[in-house]
Structure 1
Amino acid sequence: MSRRTPPVYQRGKYWLAHDERADGSRRSPNFYVWWYDSATRRERSSSTGKVDEASAILALDRLYLADKGEAPAFCHACGQSLAQAQTYLLTDAIADYKIEWGDTRVSADTIAGRLAHVVGFLDAEQALATEGRFGHATSCAAACSSVFVHAFRAWSRLQPVEWRNGKGEVTVSRIRSPAATEASIAQLIAVLNHAANAEPPRSDKRPIYKPLPARQVQRQRRTRIGVEELAKMFAYAAEPDRQRGSLHAFLVASVCTIARPGAVVDISVAPDRQQWWPGAPTVDLNPQGRTQNKKHRALLPVLPLLDRWLRAEYATYMALKPDERAGRGWLVNYHGRPVQDVDRAWDTMLTKLDMPTGREWRPYVLRHSLATLVRNRGAEKWDLEGFMGHRAGSQTEVYAIGEFPSVVRALESIISEIEKLAPGAMHRNLTGVDKSSPLTGNLQM
């Protein structure tokens, strides 16, 4: 290999570069992992099969961790740990954490975003050269110090949160909230503890700081919408001959479950998900195979309105040929396929209805507003906490499923009022099916 071009990335004995001829031309567009083989006394290489630099770096990280002679920090003679936070780079710790834990989680994208913010701080410090205290050479020992976290907080406070389009152009920018900064700090703490908990350990230090408590950094949401606004939203989503089916289903499921937006778009009638089946009195917001976390997803009674929508989607699902059912059955869908969110349709709706479009008017406003409406209509505290997933079920409730009667009564009254203000807006439009037998025939949304 020609070593005229410096490596793109390096860990231990491995480095990342292209395979170049003597004249500098590349034999392949793919990146290669290179290393010196002391047994044969020559350089060896292995193609990553990737032309994208980030993917190629990930391939090198995986190879490094799989090499028992490189990754573990222990003495081969006595087996004692040689883990030293002073020599273990923070960037390496982040990479290892993502491979071994972060990338395997349902919240992988969120984890990656929070850690990318930490790496952004290291990049900014690196760009300051001698004026920067931290940079790419920052070790886990340095990252565990209060000096590091104070510097990170000061830098993060000045960095806006940005959204970019496919061309990389900034389309939306807003001030970063203190809560967003603390979320990145909490993720950084997880990285550093992961390094210390590895077997064998890769670091002998743990962070001496904690993220600031939520009550100190989270701004209380003050915006709530009433039944009148909900009726306007339903009337808009139910307009005939419009491509608003996903928004319509999202509104229905949100009103019937008071669930978080992420849980709403995750509702499916597919049997392998084990969330609902025809005649089931409950819907499980936590599908088969998903581990419960702090954002607990509850097992809820199925309101009649939601039951009708679920039955209609189930009929659509069962009308498909068996080999066509994979990836189908989602209640909130776009032409049968799942959606990550309804943000684009939501923004359009707010604009069309001349409603505010600020941060507090994101889809999450439904959960806050419905919780407020239900509470003010007499829902008992114990029922509301369980219904919203703010209280994990006790051992007794493993056997006795909660029915949350006071919440159900309040929601039924809200649904009834919406029906009066926007007649028919909560119905799902069905074609080619007899309403008296909702589980037969072909359905279209």
Structure 2
Amino acid sequence: MAGRETPLYRRGKYWLGWDERRDGTRRSPFLTTFWYDPAAGRVRSASTGTASEDEAILALDRRYLADSSEAPAFCGACGQPLAQAAAYLLTDAIADYRLEWGDARASGDTIEARLKHVQDFLDAEEARGAEGRFGIATSCAAACTSTFVTAFRAWSHRQPVVWRNGVGQITVTKPRSPASTEAAIAQVIAVLNHAANADPPRSDKRPTYRPLPPKQVQRTRRTRIGIEELARMVAYAAEPDKRRGALHAFMVASICTIARPGAVVDICVAPDRGQWASGSPTIDLNPAGRVQNKKARPVLPVLPLLDQWLSAELLAYQALAEEDRVGRGFLVNYYGRPVQSVDSAWAAMLRELQLPTGREWRPYVLRHSLATLVRNRGAEAWDLEGFMGHRLPSQTEVYARGDFLSVQRALQTIIDEIERLVPGTLHRTGTGAASPLKRKRGAEMPG
């Protein structure tokens, strides 16, 4: 019978559970949303269509938000919505934010992890009983106060960051950085502001605090790798018959673009992505449909080496049947399938080459190192800022895109030097130069 056990989740009049018969057997393999219907005088139910608790919670949240009787209260005299932060739970605000905004973002996984950390704090406070100042009943009004953020910071700093294997066992643990805590605080601020900005508003309060600035909580990355280390890495990735194609492509694309790892694995030649077409002198690191954020992805000139790799990937893509092209065309791929990161292959490379394996040696070291090498080889500061996406283009540059010639020249000297140290390893086949790596003249400006 529905409602005999503690609900898995509750929101307003709705609760989540399994639809069970009196003997305990389940009527459905899917989780069910229940609610009491006063007009009918009985409990009603609707299948969520899933056995996954997380997906079922989202289904219940959608039903709740679509229910006009569960909407914010309205003034009987003027009809205006009465947003009440004291009556709107932080857990509900988090659920609504993820449903209406966060889960649709490219950074949805990161947003989910940060908000999971906040919910872990609420659970920990709840477990303290009378000693806890916050918990699952914490309202948005309480979450907007400096008392809340002070308590969260103190708790968060004591919580290690953990990694789990496929069966949920903790395999790696390390102390939590202040930057990680402040990132979670920034996400809470976004949740609370989303509640206040909703139409109609769900909260009448906004946070009284801000996250600490990055300069106060982020460690300065000091590790850089030189040309010799780069050459060793490229040679390792290009070694034939080792199934390191994704790592090889990642290395080459990083050298040619100095892009962030996430942007590198996102490079795709599929036409619907709108990033690059055969013969185009430029590549847009921001694919069609992706909203630019503060980590801007610029439009860059295509160096000759990158042009060879993109052209080869486009030929492979075009050789596929139309029905097989969906999700293909990514430059960094594992037997045609896109990859989210090369972290595992990167870690294996560091071990094999007997290089350090600490935090500062993760794939991001390529971007820092290449930026340093390029700067020391004469790249102009203005060119380097634009090339790396640290400076958003002005309205003038929207029409007259820069060539970043000083960066192109510096990168080409790096490519030439790697080619001299480990000949042929920069090429896609790893069997030597298919065509000479000649310098292009300045990339043509698109019309």
TM-score, length-scaled by structure 1:
0.95
Match of 2:284 in 1: 284
Single out whichever of 388-397 and 11-20 deviates more from structure 2.
Answer: 11-20
Local SS of the residue matching 2:379: coil
Task: Write out aligned runs for 1:174-253 (5 A).
Answer: 174-253=174-253
Q: How far 1:435 sits from its partner (Å)?
A: 6.8
Alpha-carbon displacement from aligned partner over 1:84-111 (angstroms, at most 9, x marks no partner)? 1111110000000000110111110010
User: 1:20, 1:77 → 2: CA distance?
Assistant: 45
Partner SS for 1:158? coil
Structure-2 residue corresponding to 1:403: 403
SS in 1 for 2:219: coil
**Partner Cα distance (1:72, 1:229) in 2:** 60
- Check whether the contact 2:3–2:17 (CA below 8 A) recurs between aligned residues: no
Q: Is the 8 A contact 1:14 1:34 kept in 2?
A: yes
Deviation per residue, 1:275-307 (Å, 9 max, x gap): 111111011101111111101001101000101
Distance in 2 (CA, whole Å) between partners of 1:18 and 1:97 is: 26
2:421 is aligned to 421
Distance 1:181 1:74 in 2: 37
Name the structure 1 match of 2:141.
141
Query: What letter is aligned with 2:340?
Result: Q
Q: Distance in 2 between matches of 1:233 and 1:63?
A: 52
In 2, the alpha carbon distance for the partners of 1:395 and 1:435 equals 38
Contact map agreement 2:223 2:365 (CA 8 A) in 1: yes
Deviations 1:6-64 (A, max 9, x none): 22211111111221222333222321111111222221110112212222111111100
Q: How many angstroms does 1:175 deviate by?
A: 1.1
Counterpart in the other structure of 1:265: 265
User: Which position in structure 1 is the counterpart of 2:256?
Assistant: 256
8 Å Cα contact 1:189/1:207 also seen in 2: yes
* Residue of structure 1 equivalent to 2:443: none
Q: Which region of structure 1 is more displaced relative to structure 2, 328-337 or 422-431?
A: 422-431
Alignment of 1:39-438 (within 5 A): 39-75=39-75, 78-429=78-429
Matches within 5 A, 1:20-39: 20-39=20-39
CA drift at 1:73: 3.3
Paired with 1:114 and 1:372, the residues of 2 have a C-alpha distance of: 31
Aligned-partner Cα distance in 2 for 1:74–1:365: 54
CA contact under 8 A between 2:18 and 2:32: conserved in structure 1? Answer: yes
CA distance, structure 2, for counterparts of residue 66 and residue 272 of structure 1: 33
> What runs of 5+ residues in structure 1 fail to find an aligned partner?
437-445
Q: Secondary structure at the match of 1:86?
A: helix
Q: What is the CA distance between 1:390 and its match in structure 2?
A: 0.4
Tell me if the contact between 2:239 and 2:430 (Cα under 8 Å) persists in the aligned partners.
Answer: no
The separation in 1 between residues aligned to 2:417 and 2:373, in whole angstroms, is: 12
- Equivalent residues of 2:255, 2:411 under 8 A apart: yes
Runs of 4 or more above 4 Å deviation: none
Give, in whole Å, the separation in 1 of the partners of 2:109 and 2:412: 36
- Paired AA for residue 88 in structure 2: Y
The CA distance in 2 between the partners of 1:134 and 1:62, in whole Å, is 26
Whole-angstrom distance in 1 between the partners of 2:346 and 2:321: 32
Asked if structure 1 preserves the Cα contact closer than 8 Å seen for 2:14 and 2:64, the reply is yes
Q: What is the CA distance between 1:75 and its match in structure 2? A: 3.6
Cα displacement string for residues 208-242 of structure 1 (whole angstroms, at most 9, x for unaligned residues): 00000011111000000000000000110111111
Contact kept? 1:160, 1:175, Cα under 8 Å: yes
Q: CA offset at residue 430 of structure 1?
A: 7.8
Q: Distance in 2 between matches of 1:400 and 1:73?
A: 52
Aligned residues: 434
Question: Which amino acid letter does the alignment assign opposite residue 43 of structure 1?
Answer: V
Q: What is the CA–CA distance in structure 2 between the aligned matches of 1:76 and 1:34, rounded to whole Å?
A: 29
In the aligned structure 2, how far is the partner of 1:11 from the partner of 1:76?
A: 24
Amino acid at match of 1:244: R
Structure 1 residues 163-208: Cα deviation after superposition (integer angstroms, max 9, x where no partner): 1111001112111110110000000000001111111111111110
> How far did residue 2 of structure 1 move?
4.2
| Aligned partner letter, 1:19 | D
Instruction: Report SS of the residue matched to 1:20.
Output: coil
Say whether the 8 Å CA contact 1:74–1:200 is kept in structure 2.
no
The amino acid of 2:136's aligned partner reads H
SS of residue in 2 equivalent to 1:398: helix
- SS in structure 2 of the partner of residue 162 of structure 1: strand
Q: Percent identity?
A: 71
Extract unaligned runs of 5+ from structure 2: 437-447
Partner of 1:11: 11
Match of residue 442 from structure 1:
none
C-alpha deviation, 1:68, in angstroms: 1.4
Q: CA deviation at 1:131?
A: 1.2
CA contact (8 A) 2:235 2:425 kept: yes
Amino acid at match of 2:334: Y
Per the alignment, residue 440 of structure 1 pairs with: none
Aligned to 2:118, the other structure's residue is in SS state helix
What SS does the aligned partner of 2:426 have?
coil
Match of 2:86, SS state, is coil
Deviation at 1:426, TM superposition (A): 0.4
Q: Secondary structure at the match of 2:70?
A: coil
What letter is aligned with 1:49?
Answer: G
Cα distance between partner residues in 1 of 2:4 and 2:214: 51
One-letter code of the match for 1:391?
R
SS class of match (1:27) = coil
Deviation at 1:76, TM superposition (A): 6.0
Matched residue of 1:26: which SS? coil
Report the residue type matching 1:259 in the other structure.
Answer: A
